[in-house]
Amino acid sequence: MEFHSRTQGEAVEVRLTGRLEFTDHDRLRDIVALLDGPGLRRFVVDVSGLDFIDSAGLGMILILQEEAEQKNIKLVVKGPKADVKRSIDLAKIGEIVVVEP
Amino acid sequence: MGFPSCVPRVERPADAGGAAVLVLAAPASRDDLARALVEPHDTLVEAGADAEAGPESGGTAEAVAAALKVAQAWSKVPWAKVPWGRGGFLLSLTTSTAYGVRLAETLSEALVARGVLAADQRSGVELCLHEAVANAIIHGNLNIASAAKDLPDGYTAFSALVSERLADPARALRRLLVQVTWDMEHLEISVTDQGAGFDPDSIPQRRASGRSGRGLMFMRALAARVDIHLGGRCTTLTFRRDGGNQPEREGTL
C-alpha cells in the first residue's frame, strides 16, 4: 500500500493506493501520525485507488477511527469501489465508520 | 535472455508414485512462483531449507532433497492426495516466502490462466484464500495472537512481532502447504500450517465491531463451504465453479 496526504484547512485527506492487507501494519503508524495535525477536525481516507482490502486492512481503518474519535476528529472513508466496497459492505464497516461514495 | 537460476526443475522421486515434483529454489520470488504455477506438475515445492539447516541452505542439493522429503511425507496423509478423477496440485512454501509473494493473488491468477477459475469469480476466491493464508502465516506458523493488536498502540507491537518472528528461522522456515483440487463442479483449496492450531468454536459466529474474526466471516460469506480440520491447522475452502457460492451446506464453520 502507498499513501499520499494533503491538508486543506481543518481537513486532511489521505489517499491510499494498491492493496491494504495484513503485511501493511508497519505503514499504519505513519497514517496515524497525520491525525496529530494542529486544529484538525476532519480526516478523509480516500480508498477509491485501493484494489484490495483484507480483514486486517479493515481492522486498520477501525484503528484510525478509534484514534480519530479520541482526538475529536471526524473520520470519513471515501469512494470504495468494486472488491473494496464488497469487503466494507460484508463486514458492515458502515455501521461503525462514515462511508461516503 | 537466460533463465534465472531459480527456474523450476522437475524431479520424479522414486517413492512419489511417478508424480512430477516441481522444485523451486528458495527463496522464491513472486515471479518465480507465478511462472512455476502455470507449469504442469503435481507438487510444487520451494526448496527452502528446513529450520535446522538455516535459510542459506536453500537451493542446495541437500535442501532440495529435504523439501522433497517434506512433500512426500505430507502426500502420504490421505487428504493431501489428489483424488482420482480430479485435477490438482500441492504447493509447499516456507512461511517467509508465503509472506512476501502475495500468495493468494498469485495463485488465483494462475488458476484463471489454467482455466480452472472463471475470471469473474476470481476476486471472491482470492479474498477467501488470502484470509486463510494470512491466518496460517500469522496465527499458525508465526504463532501471533490477534489479541496482540488490542494492547495500546497494539498495531506497532504487532508489526514488530511479525518482523521478529519472520527473522527467526524456527518459525519463518515452517511450511505452508496449499492443496488445490478440482472437478467439473467444485474447486477446493486447503491451506495447512505447522503451527499449534486453534479451537474453531472459540471464533464468534458474527462480529462486526471487534478487531478479529472478520476473515472467517469473509470465507463463510463467499465460499460454498468452509471446513477447519487438523485441530485448526487446516482450512478447506470449497467453491462452486459455476459461481453459485451461497453457502450450500453446513461446513464445520
pLDDT in tens, B6-45: 445 566 555 555 566 677 777 788 998 898 888 777 677 7
- B181 strand-pairing partners: B88, B188
What is the distance in angstroms between the Cα of B97 and the nearest Cα belonging to chain A? 13
Q: Which of A19, A54, A59 sits opposite B211 (nearest CB)?
A: A59
Enclosing H/E stretch for A6: strand A2-8
Give yes or no for residue B81 having a pLDDT over 60: no
Residue type, B98: A
Residue numbers in A near B156 (CB within 8 A): 25, 29
Chain B from 89 to 118: CB within 8 A of any A CB: 99-100, 102, 105
pLDDT value at residue A3: 97
Non-local (6+) Cβ contacts of B188 within 8 A are: B180, B181, B182, B236, B237, B238, B239
Long-range CB contacts (< 8 A, 24+ apart) of B61-64?
B63/B26, B64/B11, B64/B23
- Better-scored residue on pLDDT, B52 or B34: B34
pLDDT band at A11 (very low <50, low <70, confident <90, very high): very high
The span from the CA of B189 to the CA of B197, in Å, is 18
**Lowest-confidence pick of A81-90, B8-17, B157-166, B180-189:** B8-17
Q: Quick check: B217 contacting A, CB < 8 Å?
A: yes
CB of A92 less than 8 A from some CB of B: yes
Residue B228 near residue B234, CB atoms below 8 Å? yes
Beta bridge mates, A11: A8, A42
Closest residue to B127, CB basis, from A60, A87, A92: A87
Q: Is A36 on the interface with B (CB under 8 A)?
A: no
Residue B46 has pLDDT above 90, yes or no: no
Q: What is the CA radius of gyration of chain A?
A: 12
Q: Which of A19, A29, A96 sits opposite B156 (nearest CB)?
A: A29
**B140 shares contact with chain A (CB less than 8 Å):** no
Tell me the per-residue pLDDT of B188-237, one tens digit each, with 9 for 90 and over. 999 999 888 877 777 655 444 555 689 999 999 999 999 998 888 999 99
Integer Cα distance of B106 and B49 in angstroms? 22
pTM reported for the whole predicted model:
0.87
Q: What is the DSSP string of B169-196?
A: HHHHTSEEEEEEEE-SSEEEEEEE-SS-
Q: Is the pLDDT of residue B65 over 90?
A: no
- Find where cell 539447516 sits: B53
Report the distance separating Cα B178 and Cα B23, nearest Å. 15
**Helix-then-strand count for chain A, H and E:** 3, 5
Chain B: closest CA distance from residue A55 (Å) = 5
Hey, how many other C-beta atoms are within 10 angstroms of the C-beta on A74?
Answer: 15
Q: Around Cβ B90, how many Cβ atoms within 10 Å?
A: 23
